[in-house]
Structure 1
Amino acid sequence: MTASRGPDPTDKDMRSWIRELESAQELIRIDKPVDPLTQMGSLLYQSREKALLFENLPHGWRSLGQAPANFRHAALAFGAPQEQVVPLIAQRMGKLIAPRMVETGPVKELKLRKGEFDLTQLPVHVAGQLDGGPVIGSGLVVTKDPDTGQRNLSFHRLQIKGPDKSGILLVPRHTWKNYQKYQARNEPMPVAIMIGHHPLYYMAAATTAAYGLDEFEIAGGYLDAPVPLVKCETVDLEVPANAELVLEGFIPPHVREDEGPFSEFQDYYATGTGKNPVVHYTCMTRRHDAIFKNLQNGSEMEGCVFHKLPMSATIFRRLKDVGGGPNLHNVMILPGIFALVVQMTPRAYGEAKNLLLAALASEYQHPKVAIAVDADVDIFNPNEVLWAIATRVDPDKDVVVIPGTHNHAMDASLQELGAPGTGLWQRFGSKMLIDATAPPPADAAARANFERIRPINPQLRLEDFAAAGSMDIVRALSPQFFGSRLLGR
């Protein structure tokens, strides 16, 4: 990395993202006073369609949430239609762009040392009724491998415990591996936590890749430009220069405290609750008018959206070469993140099962249910996926259960081994694949039995025939009701 004068002012950040959302009429401004501890979570949880910008919070703060609120917003961030965004991300994953060092940036406008900042004064919201307290869910944690110096960027929940202290949940992945190395040396692990940036940074952090791959290089590929980084003030780490806010500190070895419960991505509280590590903070740097980023979790909330796209694209990238290159159309992670659907046209009997096996053994630990459907099934409409299962599956030959598998540590439906904060923490269970495809086109006679009904003149549009007084009703109709597949488009 080479140093330059500063970040390019055209670099994407949270401010440009707010403008983009507003221009697309996808942002609601909230100018009335809102209490993050008692009101914000409810408002965020209700807003599945629009992003919310809270402009009247305690201590003069503003905060952005539910941005992206849905798959449509995520596609907007990548500048692609939602039907094309997963293959696009899969393509960009192969384009790693190294970050560039800069001397300073907006995140350095205010530098506050320990005693000059108070985490309890930040507009951190309480997401759910049973949460253990306010939790920063939008913090992207930067750490380094102490042996190689290689950076890692990942999501971790941070429960506020005082003015300069929080808990942290370390799922057994790359940050945990780094921490284990520091702990073996009996040394604290330096951390830097970025809060508030363009969603493509968050997508990069949610992208699971090989251990040692710098997620800032993935972000560069997503952005098609090198990420500008600045040095931290009190730890030997680098952070994005045009972030809203950065917290610096360290995780001491062998220290565990009560942490959780927390409203997690799978729509439950319990998983990951227990004795977990803590973070002690030494510095806060921020923009002088920093906009805080709050992230609401729950099924099909912002926390899920950030993970669904890169997970879908990573698995798409893995599947596109299975068996010499299948006729693969798309991949979509389903609500709850522990299931996925693969959209394909099978070339032979049994090929769908091959792809589903590869999907269940991907870089991600999450998937335990994998479903294959044909191109005529709209995978963005859950009703269509359920229809395919109901009408194209013979359970005896199209459903396979694989017992005794290692699954994601936060899947509450499976047997938990060990305890959070220990190397033995895992879930032991099973995985299932469902082949809901029709017979391959090579067997034309068998496939003809699954030709879907289509209306005459499918090019007609309802809005062209509706009375003027009914147009608002027509415009409000759910696209899942008038789906493109049902209209034969």
Structure 2
Amino acid sequence: MSTQQYAKETFRDLLERFRQENELTDIRQPVDIRHIATLVDQAKTALMFHTVIGYDIPVVSGILRTRTRAIMSMGCETYGQIEAKLQHGIEHPIEPGYVETAPNKEVVQIDDAVDLFRLPIPMSSIYDGGPMITAGVVIAKDAEFGFNSGMYRFMVKETNLTGIDIVTPNNMRLYAQRAYEAGRPCPISISIGTHPFEIMGSGFRAPLGMDEMAIAGGIRGAAVELAMCETIDMPCIADAEIVLEAEILPTGWSHPEGRFGEFTRLMGGLHWNPLVRIKAVTMRKDAIYYALHMPWENTWLAAPTRYTALRRALKAAGVQVKDINVTLGGCGFWHAVISIKKQAGEGKNALLAALTAMDMKHVVIVDDDIDVFDATDVEWAIATRVQGDKDIVIIPGARAKPLDPSL
């Protein structure tokens, strides 16, 4: 498959490709927004809700909810190719380009005209604390570290006020913390309805100073086009359907947010987070709202970012890796089974190196004769080759992801 085949593909091009491949179903009869989550859960395809009762904007959801659509969305033929594409983006980033204007400038609502309740933001669970914006690619900037992009959740609180879930230690939290300590807001753009190339690039935890939109460009094979916002000195993704121009207010982590049906397939807890003021909403005249539906729509592109981080950590430790399986039972985030071509002592070295990757929680290291994708084979290796007092390593006090329900 040509690397450049999808380099210029837009979000809408992707939806049309899914439609042609019978991976997107158009629902044209009126639908209550409260039913969207259940309908997406029950569907075999992604769904486009053209008439959401009480709203003027259609909703699409379930785009990345299956392995097949995740593979298709990245222009790949196998799931393993997604990791290779991400690695290519990391090693060969392409800096974003800027355009004078964008389709999402066709409608501009500023200050008192902002009303987030006009957006058809469905709830993923009946127990959610409120409507959650789940598919926003956030761009922020720090005077010292430059641009940072990521995917964060925003709970709608008022017409122009949300929270932002940044309890997990990451670069966005650092930027917000630095702004808070300086007593100033942290401007951010929130681009909703973007291609999975940008979602995957922003979902990779890059080192400080590395622009995730450049990684997205490397994944895409062409520069991501950005446009400047109307009310803040910050770029947004030009192809996005809807853009929220916002500021993280210097309130500190002092306002409750949640609960939310998480990628863990469990309800998350109530967290304390900063407030976000939405200064402007810009969108296309015929904008489509993308609702990223938990848990599976978060998982299929999250796991490859863990594969890449694990390989980099193990390579730095000098460990020869045969295979890695970031398991779905570990939510695509926390568990890995890794087979290595080991020499004396390298099993524990591999274990310690792997635990430094992102928020990895449990790692099993096996010899290269074990199939890491065969749970029975892995369990057999544990049963016949492990002595708990010698071979199990516990690292106390290490960083964890606050969304871990066992904490």
Q: With structure 1 as the length reference, what TM-score do the two structures score?
A: 0.75
Counterpart contact for 1:188–1:250, Cα < 8 Å: yes
Secondary structure of 1:192's aligned partner: strand
Q: How far has the Cα of 1:230 moved from its partner?
A: 0.5
C-alpha distance in structure 1 between counterparts of 2:311 and 2:42, whole Å:
31
2:160 aligned with 1:155:
no
Match for 2:20 among 20, 23, 37? 23
CA deviations 1:134-161 (Å, max 9, x no partner) are: 111111221111x237111112111111
CA deviations 1:48-104 (Å, max 9, x no partner) are: x53222222132322221211133322222324113432442233211111111111
Aligned to 2:174: 177
Structure of higher RCO (CA pairs closer than 8 Å, 6+ residues apart): 2
Secondary structure of 1:243's aligned partner: coil
Match for 1:308 among 268, 279, 303? 303
Match for 1:353 among 339, 348, 358? 348
Match for 1:368 among 361, 372, 376? 361
Cα separation, partners in 2 of 1:339 and 1:304, compared to 1, 3 Å: same
Aligned to 1:291: 288
Secondary structure of 2:348's aligned partner: helix
C-alpha distance in structure 2 between counterparts of 1:318 and 1:406, whole Å:
16
1:5-404 paired onto structure 2 within 5 Å: 11-36=8-33, 38-47=34-43, 49-58=44-53, 59-78=55-74, 79-145=76-142, 147-148=143-144, 150-171=146-167, 172-254=169-251, 256-271=254-269, 273-298=270-295, 301-323=296-318, 326-334=320-328, 335-362=330-357, 364=358, 366-373=359-366, 379=372, 385-386=378-379, 389=382, 393-404=386-397
Q: How far has the Cα of 1:105 moved from its partner?
A: 1.7
Q: How far has the Cα of 1:285 moved from its partner?
A: 1.0
Secondary structure of 2:60's aligned partner: strand
C-alpha distance in structure 2 between counterparts of 1:268 and 1:230, whole Å:
37
Cα separation, partners in 2 of 1:19 and 1:380, compared to 1, 3 Å: farther
Q: How far has the Cα of 1:246 moved from its partner?
A: 0.2
CA deviations 1:201-257 (Å, max 9, x no partner) are: 111111011112111111111111111111000000001111111001212212633
Q: How far has the Cα of 1:330 moved from its partner?
A: 3.6
Which ranges of structure 1 fall in alignment gaps of 5 or more residues?
A: 1-8, 415-489
Q: What percentage of residue pairs aligned between the two structures are identical?
A: 32
Which ranges of structure 2 fall in alignment gaps of 5 or more residues?
A: 1-5
CA deviations 1:96-124 (Å, max 9, x no partner) are: 11111111122222222223342112111
Aligned to 2:3: none
Q: How far has the Cα of 1:31 moved from its partner?
A: 2.8
Q: How many residues align?
A: 397
CA deviations 1:412-441 (Å, max 9, x no partner) are: 212xxxxxxxxxxxxxxxxxxxxxxxxxxx
Cα separation, partners in 2 of 1:379 and 1:33, compared to 1, 3 Å: farther
Counterpart contact for 1:152–1:214, Cα < 8 Å: yes
Q: How far has the Cα of 1:195 moved from its partner?
A: 0.6
C-alpha distance in structure 1 between counterparts of 2:13 and 2:364, whole Å:
37
Counterpart contact for 1:332–1:340, Cα < 8 Å: yes
2:396 aligned with 1:412:
no
Q: With structure 2 as the length reference, what TM-score do the two structures score?
A: 0.89
Aligned to 1:433: none
Q: CA RMSD in A?
A: 2.5
Cα separation, partners in 2 of 1:174 and 1:83, compared to 1, 3 Å: closer
What letter matches 1:305 in structure 2? W
